[in-house]
Chains A and B, each alone.
Chain A
Amino acid sequence: MRLRGWGGVAAMAAATALTAALLPLAAGDGAGGAASGSAPAHGSQVLDRQSSDDECAGGRPPGEPQRSWRPSGASGPAVQRILDNEQLVVGIDQNSYQWGYRDPESGELRGFDIDLAKAIAADLGLDESDLVFRAIPTSQRVPALQDRKVDMVVRTMTINCDRLKDVEFSTAYFEAGQQVLAPKHSDIKGFDDSLNGKRVCAAEGSTAEDFIKEKLTDATVVPVANQLDCLVRVQLGQADAVITDNALAAGQAAQDPSMELKGVPLTEEYYGVAMNKNDRDLVARVNKVLADYDKSGKWDRAYEDWLKDVMPGITGPPRPEYLD
Chain B
Amino acid sequence: MSYPSPAGSAAPPVQPAAAAVPAQPGPGGPPVPPPSAAPPERRSAFAEGMDRFRRAAVTEPGRLRIIGAVLAVLVVVFGAVTAWQVTDRSSAADDVLLRSQPLSRDAAEIYRSLADANTTAASGFLAGGEEPREVRKRYEDDIDQAGTLLVRAAANSQGAAAARTKITEINRWLPQYTAAIETARANNRQGLPLGGAYLRYANGLMDEKLLPAASELYEAETAQLNDDYAAAKSWPWLALALGVVALGVLLWAQRRHYRRTNRVFNQGMVVASALTAVVLLWLAVGHTLARAGLNDSDKNGAQSLMVLNQARIESLKAHGNEGLKMVSRGAVTKGNDQDAYEVDYGASMTDLAGKDAETLDDSLMEKALALAGDDDAGRVPVEKAVDGVREWQTRHKAMLEADNAGNYDKAVHQVIGGANEKATGECFDVVNKALAQAIDHEQQQFDAAAADGRDALGGLWIGAAVLAVLGAAGALLGIGRRLSEYR
User: Which residues of A does B touch, CB under 8 Å?
Assistant: 27, 32-34, 89, 91, 93-97, 101-105, 133-140, 143-144, 149-150, 225-226, 228-229, 231-232, 235-236, 251-252, 255-256
Contact = CB atoms under 8 A, between A and B. Distances in A.
Contact of B191 (A96, A101, A251): A101
14 contacts: A34-B332, A94-B329, A97-B193, A104-B191, A137-B330, A138-B330, A139-B337, A140-B404, A225-B331, A226-B200, A228-B194, A228-B196, A229-B197, A231-B194
Contacts of B330: 32, 136-140
Nearest 10 interchain pairs by C-beta? A134-B406, A137-B330, A104-B191, A135-B408, A32-B331, A228-B197, A139-B337, A225-B332, A95-B329, A255-B194
Contacts of A138: 330-331, 333, 337
Interface string B171-211: 00000000000010001111111101110110000000000
A138 B329 CA distance: 8
B1 interface: no
B338 interface: yes
A232 B333 contact: no
A225 B340 contact: yes
B191 A105 contact: yes
A105 B190 CA distance: 9
B193 A228 contact: yes
B15 interface: no
A175 to B, nearest CB: 23
Contacts of A226: 197, 200, 328, 331-332
Contacts of A101: 191, 193
Given A231-B197, A256-B194, A137 B329 contact: yes
B161 interface: no
A139 B406 contact: no
Contacts of A228: 193-194, 196-197, 331
B223 to A, nearest CB: 34
B406 A95 contact: no
A124 B198 CA distance: 40
Interface in B328-368: 328-333, 337-340
A101 B196 CA distance: 12
Contacts of A144: 404-406
Contacts of A231: 194, 197
Nearest to B128: A104
B406 A89 contact: yes
A135 B333 CA distance: 16
Nearest to B412: A135
A228 B197 CA distance: 6
Contacts of B296: none
A225 B193 contact: no
Contact of B404 (A27, A89, A94, A137): A137
B465 to A, nearest CB: 64
A232 B198 contact: yes
A8 B128 CA distance: 55
Contact of A93 (B329, B340, B404, B407): B329
B201 to A, nearest CB: 5
A251 B197 CA distance: 13
A228 B331 CA distance: 9
B331 A134 contact: no
A147 to B, nearest CB: 9
B193 A255 contact: yes
B369 to A, nearest CB: 36
Contacts of B197: 226, 228-229, 231-232
B338 A139 contact: yes
A136 B328 contact: no
Contacts of B407: 134
Contact of B333 (A33, A143, A229, A252): A33
A128 B128 CA distance: 25
Nearest to B192: A255
Contacts of B329: 32, 93-95, 135, 137
B403 interface: yes
A252 B193 CA distance: 9
B333 A34 contact: yes
B418 interface: no
Contacts of A32: 329-331
B129 interface: yes
Nearest to B403: A137
A103 B406 contact: no
Contact of A96 (B128, B129, B193): B193
A103 B129 CA distance: 11
Contacts of A140: 330, 404, 406
Q: Which of A33, A95, A137, A236 is the most central at the interface, judged by chain B CB atoms within 10 Å of its CB? A: A137
Contacts of B408: 94, 134-135
Contact of A149 (B194, B328, B339, B404): B404
A96 B404 CA distance: 18
A133 B405 CA distance: 11
Interface string B300-338: 000000000000000000000000000011111100011
B435 to A, nearest CB: 31
Contacts of B183: 235
Given A34-B333, A137-B339, A91 B194 contact: no
B424 to A, nearest CB: 17
Nearest to A254: B192
A256 B328 CA distance: 19
B407 to A, nearest CB: 7
B129 A104 contact: yes
Q: Which of A32, A89, A101 is the most central at the interface, judged by chain B CB atoms within 10 Å of its CB? A: A32
Nearest to A252: B194
B405 A134 contact: yes
